[in-house]
Amino acid sequence: MSLAEYARGRFLSSALAGRIRTLDEGVCIRWNRVLRYPGLLRTMRVVSRLGDGIFWYVLMAGLPIVAPGGLLPAAQMVASGLVSYIAYKILKGGTLRPRPYQVLDSIAPGASPLDQFSFPSGHTLHAVAFTLIVCTYYPLLAFVLVPFTVLTAASRIALGLHYPSDVLAGACLGAVIASASFLFF
């Protein structure tokens, strides 16, 4: 079985795959309705844009300057970011899953995607990996990082760029990569 078949649900019974697809699409359609509200649309766009990397790059650069022992978690974030990027590229190229707004007429894109395909959510993958790493060293930062990570994941669905299953896969992969990074750091 190819990775593309796996990501498209061919490993599941057709009935179960159909239910998951229906749930995925239904959540996308409902969450995409936030685009009707200018304040929510702006918020989702800003969060998503910060999640493109800006927020995380500033955090990586700032940790060694302002936090005691900040060089180690910053280095761990860089290494995990590289592994995450490679995994993300392999999965995107292997699955070729179109984005929700490309498939569903009732979904409006709320922002421009960084690439063509949907599975997995790279924003969520990196946000979860970086949040887990930083919060392990500095638990008090969870007050800021966990809500930002949740908003980043939600923004990707609301903006019509990802299905919930893309976000869930990104979150799981990010958690695995962050956890594995502690074996090396």
Looking at residue 5, its pLDDT comes to 52
Looking at residue 1, its pLDDT comes to 44
Looking at residue 8, its pLDDT comes to 52
What does pLDDT average to in each consecutive run of 10 residues of the chain (185 residues)? 49 71 89 90 94 94 93 96 95 90 89 88 97 97 97 95 95 97 93
DSSP H helical ranges for 13-121: 14-32, 38-49, 55-66, 71-95, 100-103
Closest CA to 46 of 148, 122, 130: 148
Domains in the chain with CATH codes: 3-181 (1.10.606.20)
Ramachandran region, residue 176 (left: φ > 0; alpha: ψ -120 to 50; beta: rest): alpha
Residue 97 to residue 47: CA distance in whole angstroms = 23
Looking at residue 20, its pLDDT comes to 83
Can you name the residues that pair with 117 across neighbouring β-strands? 98
Q: How many alpha carbons lie under 13 Å from residue 136 in its C-beta half-sphere?
A: 17
Looking at residue 49, its pLDDT comes to 93
Reading the block at residue 159, the tokens are 């903006």
Task: With H, G, I as helix, E, B as strand and everything else as coil, classify residue 116.
Answer: coil
Q: Which residues contact 45 (CB under 8 A, 6 or more apart)?
A: 110, 111, 155, 159
